[in-house]
Amino acid sequence: MKTVSRRQFLTYSAFTFAGSTLPGQALCAFTGKKQQSATVDISGTTFKKDAPDHPGKWSREADYYMTLPGDAVMCCICPQSCVLDQSDRSVCRSRVNINGKLYTLAYGNPCSVNTDPIEKKPLFHFKPATKALSIATTGCNFRCLNCQNWQISQAKPEDVRFYDLFPHQVIETALKKKVTSIAYTYSEPVTYYEYMMDTAKLAKQKGISNLWISNGYINPEPLSALCEVLDAANVNLKSFNNATYQKLNGGQLDPVLNTFKTLHDRGVHFEITTLVVPGYVDDEKMIKKMCHWIVNNLGPDHPLHFLRFFPQYKLDRLAPTPVSVLTNFRKIAMDTGIRYVYVGNVPEHEGNHTYCHQCGKLLIERKGYHIPINNIEKNKCRFCKSTIPGKWI
């Protein structure tokens, strides 16, 4: 288990040698060659002796972990594979070792509960114009520099104001609000896996859909179990470059790609989201490679969303993504064979709408979250009768 990240190590080393190396670095900058350190990794670290003494009301023994000699445990929920000694806390801040057992502290204590249009997730091919009850506890296994929800993703469950909302109460709330889905979202639902699973099972029984909005950083076994109860997912593909994953997010690419394959194999409807961060995720070659991978491994039918980046959280010294870059990426993806490619965070862009992959006619016109035109009838294009992937009722 790491206690000092490589990123931190590099930073401290850089400072140590700064005086002697400054002129050399300066020369490097003048040559116009940007030093792209492929080894920079902002992955989180575990928190030593940070667990509560006893599991509390909002705790539950975790589903996936291994016991190790000396009361240590290894969390098996995600590829971080945190090894926790007695009283240690996981990278995601939600899991702790109490007396040789792994507990989740994120159970029945969501800190954010909202009703959102399903398009906001974004899910464009799943029950359009319906509402989802969105819930989140704290915690994330990533450290994204541009996190929109850093207030909860980078916090401990006991450090925030939260609702007392156990799984059955979530279902009651959903029924009361007359939503058709429950979305596990905002922070990283993998970190409150048990809460999500127990809620999702109850939701399934009541005919409420379960939506998983995630970074996809999960191990195959828990994912497989999750697929049993999932109706739809939107998973981030933050980059197609492992170095960028390490540098901006503190994760690895391969486990995320495996998640896509599992979801595809298990027949879960999912959509892919890529935030186009200028200078990092705006390389045409990389996007082409990514699109080819999607077509070859997942097929052409999973919708892909390219989102416009805005300065956020710690990544606040970059300009927003130029709209033409998104337009170009949409074209590249469609040329590669992906049938449904969208542009997000750009109002009134052509890429907000759904066009039939067969006849090219407008199927769904979106004005923000409003849908003034819907030409899909019984999962088919009204004009050419081609089947449109997704769940439309």
Partner 1 sequence: MKKITNLKIDRRIRNVVIATGIGSVTTQLLTIREFLSQLNGNEFVIALILFNWLFIGGLGTHLAGLLSKNASVKRFYWISICLIILAPLQLIAIRVTRDLIFIHGSSIGFYPTFAYTLFSITPYSLLLGFFLPYSLIVIRNHIADYLGTRIYIFDNIGDISGGVLFSFILVYFTTPFQAVFIAHLPLLFALYRLYASAYNKKTPSFIGTILGITALIIAISIETPTLAPPSGELAYYQETPYGRIRIIKDQEQYTLIRNGRPVFSSQDFSAAEEVVHYPLSQIDSVRHVLMISAQSQMISEVKKYHPATIDYVEIDPAITDAEFRFGLLEKCPEMTVIHEDGRQYLKNTDKQYDAIILNLPEPDTFQINRFFTDRFFTIASQHLTKGGVLSFSVKGFDNYISDNELQKISSIYRTTCHVFKHVLLIPGNRIFFLCSDTPIKTNIDVLLENKNISTAYISGYYYGNITQERISRLNQQLISTGPINSDFSPHLVQILLDEWFSIFSTSPAFFVLILSIINIVYFLCISKEEFVLYTTGFFTMGAEILVIFAFQIFFGYIYLQIGLIITVFLAGLLPGAVYGQYLCEHGNKKILFFTDTALIILMLVFIGAISLFENQISGYAFLLFGFAVSSVCGCQFPVALHLQGGGRQAAVKMFSADLIGAAYGTLITSILLIPFAGILWSAAGLILLKITSLLIINMKK
Cβ closest to partner 1, residue 56 vs residue 279: 279
Q: State the minimum distance, in angstroms, from the CB of residue 378 to partner 1.
A: 26
Helix, strand, coil percentages, rounded to 5, for the chain: 30, 20, 45
What is the strand order of the sheet 362-367 is part of?
354-355, 362-367, 370-374
Q: State the minimum distance, in angstroms, from the CB of residue 103 to partner 1.
A: 23
Q: State the minimum distance, in angstroms, from the CB of residue 195 to partner 1.
A: 16
Q: State the minimum distance, in angstroms, from the CB of residue 321 to partner 1.
A: 8
Q: State the minimum distance, in angstroms, from the CB of residue 230 to partner 1.
A: 21
Q: State the minimum distance, in angstroms, from the CB of residue 379 to partner 1.
A: 25
**β-strands 376-377, 362-367 pairing:** unpaired
Q: Give the residue among 246, 259, 183 at the shortest CA–CA distance from 215.
A: 259
Cβ atoms of residues 293 and 264 within 8 Å: no
Spell out the alpha helix ranges (H) of the chain. Answer: 6-30, 150-153, 167-177, 193-205, 220-227, 242-244, 253-265, 284-298, 323-336
Cβ closest to partner 1, residue 28 vs residue 66: 28
Cβ closest to partner 1, residue 115 vs residue 386: 115
DSSP for 213-226, written as a single string = EE-----HHHHHHH
Cβ atoms of residues 368 and 346 within 8 Å: no
Q: State the minimum distance, in angstroms, from the CB of residue 50 to partner 1.
A: 13
3-class state of residue 74 by DSSP: strand
Cβ closest to partner 1, residue 191 vs residue 219: 191
Cβ closest to partner 1, residue 278 vs residue 389: 278
Cβ closest to partner 1, residue 53 vs residue 324: 324
Q: State the minimum distance, in angstroms, from the CB of residue 162 to partner 1.
A: 9
Cβ closest to partner 1, residue 18 vs residue 373: 18
Q: Give the residue among 217, 204, 219, 281 at the shortest CA–CA distance from 248.
A: 281
Cβ atoms of residues 157 and 93 within 8 Å: yes
Q: Give the residue among 167, 210, 182 at the shortest CA–CA distance from 58.
A: 167
**Residue ranges that bind partner 1, judged by CB under 8 A:** 11, 14-15, 18-19, 22-23, 25-26, 28-30, 32, 34-35, 40, 42, 111-112, 114-117, 119-120, 134, 136, 145, 148-152, 154-155, 160, 186, 247-248, 277-280, 282, 310-311, 313-320, 322-325, 347-348, 366-370
Q: State the minimum distance, in angstroms, from the CB of residue 328 to partner 1.
A: 9
The angle formed by the CA atoms of residues 56, 185 and 307, to the nearest 5 degrees, is: 150
Q: How many CB atoms lie within 10 A of CB 166?
A: 18
**Residue 80, C-beta contacts closer than 8 angstroms, at least 6 positions apart:** 43, 44, 90, 91, 92, 141, 217
Q: In this structure, what is the dihedral angle of CA atoms 76, 78, 79, 84, given to the nearest 10 degrees?
A: -50
Per the document, the length of the chain is 393
Cβ closest to partner 1, residue 29 vs residue 66: 29
Cβ closest to partner 1, residue 124 vs residue 260: 124
Cβ closest to partner 1, residue 137 vs residue 219: 137
Q: State the minimum distance, in angstroms, from the CB of residue 132 to partner 1.
A: 11
